[in-house]
Amino acid sequence: MALRPDEQIEVVETKAPRAPVIEPGHTFATVTDKISSIVLTRPTSNGWLVGFGFSFLLTMVLLYAISYLFIRGVGIWGVNIPVGWGFAIVNFVWWIGIGHAGTLISAILLLLRQSWRNSINRFAEAMTLFAVACAGMFPVLHLGRPWLAYWLFPYPNTMNYWPQFRSPLVWDVFAVSTYATTSLLFWFVGLIPDLATLRDRSHNRALQMIYGILAMGWRGSARHWSRYETAYLLLAGLATPLVLSVHTVVSFDFAIGIVPGWHTTIFPPYFVAGAIYSGFAMVLMLAIPIRKFYGLEDFITERHLQNSAKVMLATGLIVAYGYGIEAFMGWYGGNRSDAFLLWNRLHGPYRAVYFSLLACNIFIPQVLWIRKLRSNPAWLFVISGVILVGMWLERFVIVVVSLQRDFLNSSWGMYYPTRWDWMTYIGTIGFFLACMFLFVRILPMISIFEMRQLLPQAEVKPE
């Protein structure tokens, strides 16, 4: 058997060509025009105003709920003994999980040289930042005395007070604040060349000043680019472990305790997979309308939808593995509390939540095996929504159903969220969306210079 020159070999079957990451016919100029015009020349549409207005309204609901919370205290929420961790922690985990997709796309896919990420990394990173901001609110609000939140940091003080470093809740403070800082830096550094483009293309003096200040004197010289690439790669290297570590630490918040349903060793990888799962669902829920309303189908192509759907399918299966193993061990292990937890999930007062979560996270997303559905934006949008609901329900089951019936029957209880819980939760969704609306209006939502790198013209010819 020998390897022969391929021109002698007849190729009888070739696979269908993959959808491109950028539609043909674009040049450096059209890419720059198209993306920067959304910010600079396109008039503010009515749709944007309505969307932003509505999100802003919800943000005001959040403000109202928080203000009342500060006046009255956490008693206005549904939390009590035994369920001391209610919506606040459910929402915290949900939001921080959503953020993970942005970091995965921007850092890990960059290191893996997955160039398709170039069209979605910018707004995915923005999504990360806003999601982390929403997430960060909850534990602080949950403190009871949020104005003393800085006590969580180890700082020299006269109270002879020091955080308990054996508590994963303290690890969380460091994990999340590191994550927020790195994500912000990464996002901002990525924006600098594009901010310079906006500075150079805007005709309005004030805009030139603002974008000019933000661009930090970027001139696009070869030396700038060389240093920029190094800095960007270093930041990607720093951000990569965070994809794993942040949600791992979040999972320790639960797993370090001995509550049945919390204390299980699969939690770290299972939380990370769940985080990426919900994160990609949110990316799709944002990308699909954005590409539609701003006519960006050339840049966010079917390929991006396909790939995101595949990531969701894979991470969803890891989550399903987690459920399966957890349920099996509950039965196999012979620990009565674990077995009861399983029973309580299936037959207890919150069984509807558990079955909905199985449907949303495991059964319905299996339709993503079908290629046609993976490339259909409308279907993907719906399935992503289902997954986001499912992942929220999962955190509800973990937090609430585990706590409501623990070892002692005498301490069992129910958890009912109050309207303040709901208002805070929905308010953060409004805050998140309002931030996204502002972002797409005032900053380039797709990385202009990285899109230009995807063009065939940008390919370096071998010598």
Partner 1 sequence: MSSPGVVNLDLSAPPIVRLMERRSLIIGVIFAVIAIVGAFLRTDEFFHAYLLGFMLWLGVALGSMAILMIRHLTGGGWGVVIRRLQGAAMRTLPLLALLFVPIPFGRRFLYIWARPLDSIPDAHLRQHLAEITRSYLSVQGFIIRAVIYFAIWIGLSFFLSKWSAQHDQPPMRDTSARAKALSGPGLVLYAFTISFAAIDWVMSIDPSWISTIYGLIILIGEVLSAMCFAVVIERILVDYKPMSELLKPDFVHDHGKWMLTFLMLWAYFSFSQWLIIWAGNLPEEITWYIRRLYGGWGSIGLMLVVFHFVVPFVLLLSRPFKRNIRKLVWLATGLMIMRFVDLFWIIEPNFSPTIRVTWLDIVVPVAMGGLWLAYFFHNLASMPLLPAFDPYVREVWEPTHSEAGA
CB of residue 144 vs partner 1: minimum separation in angstroms?
25
- Does 15 bind partner 1 (CB under 8 A)? Our answer is yes
In the block, residue with structure tokens 């029957």: 409
Question: CB under 8 Å to 168, separation ≥6 — which residues?
Answer: 249, 252, 253, 256
Say which amino acid occupies 109.
Answer: L
Cis, peptide link before residue 82, omega less than 30° from 0 = yes
Residue 267-296 contact track with partner 1, rule CB under 8 A, x = bound? xxx---------------------------
How crowded is residue 272: how many other Cβ atoms within 10 Å of its Cβ?
23
Alpha-carbon distance values, 249 to 89, 241, 287 (Å): 14, 12, 29
- Does 236 bind partner 1 (CB under 8 A)? Our answer is no
- Does 71 bind partner 1 (CB under 8 A)? Our answer is no
- Does 407 bind partner 1 (CB under 8 A)? Our answer is no
CB of residue 115 vs partner 1: minimum separation in angstroms?
7
For residues 78 and 418, the answer to whether their CB atoms sit within 8 Å is: yes
- Does 372 bind partner 1 (CB under 8 A)? Our answer is no
The residue within the footprint of partner 1, chosen from 149, 317, 426, 438 (CB under 8 A), is: 317
- Does 6 bind partner 1 (CB under 8 A)? Our answer is yes
How far apart are the C-alpha atoms of 374 and 361, rounded to whole Å? Answer: 16
CA neighbor of 423 nearest in space, from 153, 65, 92: 65
Of 68 and 340, nearer to partner 1 (C-beta) is 340
Binding residues for partner 1 restricted to 108-137, rule: CB under 8 A: 113, 115
CA neighbor of 271 nearest in space, from 234, 229, 227, 315: 315
Stretch that binds partner 1, among 131-139, 248-256, 340-348, 436-444 (CB under 8 A): 248-256
CA neighbor of 288 nearest in space, from 208, 161, 384, 219: 384
- Does 459 bind partner 1 (CB under 8 A)? Our answer is yes
For residue 64, count CB atoms less than 10 angstroms from its CB and return exposed for 0-12, middle for 13-18, buried for 19 or more: middle
- Does 255 bind partner 1 (CB under 8 A)? Our answer is yes
Alpha-carbon distance values, 88 to 95, 139, 275, 349, 362 (Å): 11, 7, 17, 21, 25
What beta strand segments (E) does 63-180 contain? none
CB of residue 258 vs partner 1: minimum separation in angstroms?
5
Of 219 and 461, nearer to partner 1 (C-beta) is 461
Long-range contacts of 214-221 (CB under 8 A, 24+ apart): 216/192, 218/192, 218/193, 220/193, 220/196
The residue within the footprint of partner 1, chosen from 153, 162, 165, 369 (CB under 8 A), is: 369
- Does 266 bind partner 1 (CB under 8 A)? Our answer is yes
Alpha helix stretches (DSSP H) within 215-266: 222-255
Binding residues for partner 1 restricted to 437-456, rule: CB under 8 A: 453-456
Binding residues for partner 1 restricted to 318-347, rule: CB under 8 A: 321-322, 324-326, 329, 332-335
- Does 60 bind partner 1 (CB under 8 A)? Our answer is no
- Does 91 bind partner 1 (CB under 8 A)? Our answer is no
- Does 263 bind partner 1 (CB under 8 A)? Our answer is yes
- Does 220 bind partner 1 (CB under 8 A)? Our answer is no
Stretch that binds partner 1, among 251-259, 341-349, 393-401, 432-440 (CB under 8 A): 251-259
CB of residue 22 vs partner 1: minimum separation in angstroms?
8
Interaxial angle between packed helices 121-142 and 267-293, expressed in degrees from 0 to 180 and rounded to the nearest 10: 130
- Does 458 bind partner 1 (CB under 8 A)? Our answer is yes
Of 76 and 455, nearer to partner 1 (C-beta) is 455
Which one-letter DSSP state was computed for residue 370?
Answer: S
Say which amino acid occupies 248.
Answer: T
Stretch that binds partner 1, among 17-25, 357-365, 386-394, 438-446 (CB under 8 A): 17-25
CB of residue 192 vs partner 1: minimum separation in angstroms?
22
Question: CB under 8 Å to 302, separation ≥6 — which residues?
Answer: 19, 375
Of 202 and 307, nearer to partner 1 (C-beta) is 307
How far apart are the C-alpha atoms of 292 and 282, rounded to whole Å? Answer: 16
Of 18 and 72, nearer to partner 1 (C-beta) is 18
Residue-level length of the chain: 463
CB of residue 246 vs partner 1: minimum separation in angstroms?
13
For every residue of 418-440, DSSP letters joined together read -HHHHHHHHHHHHHHHHHHHHHH
Say which amino acid occupies 254.
Answer: F
Of 146 and 268, nearer to partner 1 (C-beta) is 268
Residue 163-202 contact track with partner 1, rule CB under 8 A, x = bound? ---x------------------------------------
- Does 13 bind partner 1 (CB under 8 A)? Our answer is yes
How far apart are the C-alpha atoms of 167 and 152, rounded to whole Å? Answer: 11
Residues that bind partner 1 (CB under 8 A): 1-6, 9-15, 20-22, 113, 115, 166, 244, 248, 252, 255-258, 263-269, 317, 321-322, 324-326, 329, 332-335, 369, 453-456, 458-460, 462
